Amino acid sequence: MLGVSPAHILGRPAEPVYGEEARRLVAGRRVLVTGAGGSIGGEIVRQLSRLGVGELFFVDNDEYALYSLQRELSGTALLDDSHFVLADVADEAKLNRVLAWARPSIVYHAAAHKHLPLLENSPEAAVRTNVLGTAVVLQASVAHGVERFINISTDKAARPTSVLGMSKRLAEMVVADRAGSADPGITVASVRFGNVLGSRGSFVETLRWQLAAGRPVTLTHPGASRYFMTIPEAAGLVIEASVLAQAGETYVLDMGEPVRILDLIQRFAALSGMPEPPIVVTGLRPGEKLHEELFDPSEAQRPTAHPRIREVDVAENGAASWAAIRSLCARAATARPDEVRRAMAELLAGADLAVLAS
């Protein structure tokens, strides 16, 4: 009854199609994935395996996620394989040891906190994992000879109005700052996409549970719309975008037209053979937009060689140097949530302070 796939809900194919350049990029190479036990990181791992990657290394701070990933990949879950690494991406000493040992050619950085309301209340966690974690993994990658570093971002980084969005835009700026240094020593880029249907803790997971339990479905606003992708679509386009990476650009994936969440609820119920459920409107949460955006107003869009990927340069209206990130983290460790939000906005310089400090 409720076994409706995300691809059916969106009404479009979900399986990625790779170009030869993407296959050549990863074939036979040593690749490390952070957040490897998460929805996107795990799918990147699966797709890399199908593309003939040479050796894979899996980094996550969730023991059960690593257990589940190893069980899926090998049929065992003994967790005695050193390729499965339990680590916090903000742990500088540990990440340097891991990169020195693994010696990957390519790093896909998917580790992140992503739940918007939780991060509004705990912005220091967003700073530590999403901002400092990106800087730490990138610095370790440079120090240990990684050739290509791909940072996974989100559409909430465009004109950010939330802690999640600010943290991911700062992460994009960290990547761009590295590329703009006198001797970057590495090819880097960020990849930005919207909501991923079927990811862990996502809208579809909640909707399926509410319908199965006979509960009313909660909706923040009847007019709210989002850009949606399936997990295979998103991961496949991340791998394709990594071919394009040059000098710190942010690549934005084509997700079609935005979809009203209410329409998805109705479609899901119909495909499940259920009557339309009762809906409780809860109101938009702090930091949440009615309609998501893919591009910041300050960003000029450019086409790329891939028909579903566009390119922007992150606006140079802030600072995301190593020193600035360390200063932000030190402040976030002891400051009140509103003070952390303001400190993030000050780094971004172009953010809406009235919204962010509320």
Q: Which two tokens stand for residue 41?
A: 């990181």
3-class secondary-structure state, position 53: strand
CB proximity list for 154: less than 8 A, separation 6 or greater = 114, 164, 165, 168, 192, 193, 194
* Candidates 94, 114, 156, 168; catalytic one: 156
Q: Which two tokens stand for residue 248?
A: 């710190």
Identify the CA nearest to 254 among candidates 202, 295, 224, 289. Answer: 295
CB of 120 closer than 8 Å to CB of 163: yes
> Alpha carbon of 328 to those of 7, 30, 345: distances in Å?
40, 33, 11
Q: What are phi and psi of 130, to 5 degrees?
A: -75, -35
User: Residue 329: what residue type?
Assistant: C
Identify the CA nearest to 241 among candidates 228, 229, 232, 250. Answer: 250
Is 114 part of the annotated catalytic residue set?
Answer: no
Identify the CA nearest to 103 among candidates 136, 50, 60, 56. Answer: 56
Alpha-carbon span 321 to 170, nearest angstrom? 10
Burial (Cβ within 10 Å: 0-12, 13-18, ≥19) of residue 208: middle
C-alpha count within 13 angstroms, C-beta hemisphere, residue 266: 6
DSSP 121-184: H-HHHHIIIIIIHHHHHHHHHHHTT-SEEEEEEEGGGSS--SHHHHHHHHHHHHHHHHHTSS--
Radius of gyration of the chain (CA): 20
Beta bridge pairs of residue 303: 310
3-class secondary-structure state, position 249: strand
Catalytic residues: 156
